[in-house]
Amino acid sequence: MFSDKFILLLIVTLRFFLVINGGGETTCQKVTVIREILSNGFHRDLLTKVELAAVEHTAGCGVIFKEHLPRGLYVDPYQLTSLQQHNVTEVLLLDHIDVEAPEYLSLEHTLLVYAKPDPECDGCFSATVPIHTRYHRPSEQHEEALVNLLNPQLLVRCNTGLLLKMCQVYPEEDAPCSVKDSTTCRWTGVMFKPVPELILQVPVGLKQHELVVCTVTFLATLFSSVFVLAAVWKYGQFYI
């Protein structure tokens, strides 16, 4: 008795050879991923959208975008918790994140973004995640630093018929069924059409401005402290 995994692998292999030989070019459903950065500045939104296949096959499907953020970017765990409570977005963090650390003292981190069905597109799933850029070291010449955001891995948990229509799949891997359910499910990695990497421009200070910035910051802090102390002395109540 053959296992279900062996049968699935055999069918996928046969369909793959049919496509190569020109007999099944219209069988494979192209998986399309769209990526976009919304807003400007240090606080932005990452929109990721995927179109799987024909509508009749996507009912009950689950989709995960496995994101690998470089050290120049981070997500705020507290913000994500608030968004999850309001059912806005569902993100599971796989690494510890220090939201205060600058870029040169940070590490890359991975997160699982659970996409939701897109009501404006049949057979589509989308997710929007707020991302933040970290402060970089001052530069000698450039006023901007570039941060490259790589494409995510696409994990799908669906019926066998849809996966066969995609033709090319990666090996399965275990991941939580959902953010609220720690039970492990089997997810299938799916290939998609190449998407250009997103490049974010981050403002960077110039080293030649260091003396001016430090001087102005010190004077502003000093004057503010003096003003606060004067107000306390004038309007405060002191008891001996």
Domain membership of residue 125 as a residue range:
4-206
Q: Distance from first CA to last CA of the chain, Å, rounded?
A: 91
Question: 167: alpha, beta or left, given left = phi > 0 and alpha = psi -120 to 50?
Answer: left
Domain count, the chain: 1
pLDDT at 61: 84
Is 237 contained in some domain? no
Question: What tokens were used for 64?
Answer: 């995960």
pTM of the predicted model as reported, rounded to 2 decimal places:
0.76
Find the CATH number of the domain harbouring 151.
Answer: 2.60.40
Predicted confidence (pLDDT) per residue in 214-237, tens digit: 888 888 999 999 999 988 888 877
Calculate the average pLDDT of the chain.
Answer: 81
- Rounded to the nearest 5 degrees, what angle is found at the Cα of 83, between the Cα atoms of 80 and 86? 150
Residue 223 within a domain: no
Within 10 Å of residue 15's Cβ, how many Cβ atoms? Answer: 19
Please give the pLDDT value at position 168.
63
Looking at the domain assignment, is residue 226 inside a domain?
Answer: no
Give, in degrees to the nearest 5, the angle at Cα 42 between 41 and 45: 85
Answer yes or no: is 212 within a domain. no
- 129-144: average pLDDT: 86
Q: Which residues in the chain belong to E strands, given as ranges?
A: 32-38, 43-51, 62-69, 73-74, 90-93, 109-114, 116-117, 124-133, 144-149, 153-157, 169-176, 184-190, 198-203
61-92 residue pLDDT tens: 889 999 999 999 999 999 999 999 888 899 99
Task: Over range 190-218, report the average pLDDT.
Answer: 83
Rounded-to-integer distance, Cα 144 and Cα 147, Å: 10
pLDDT recorded at residue 96: 92
pLDDT of residue 26: 37
pLDDT tens for 172-190 read 889 999 888 878 999 988 8
Run of H or E including 25: none
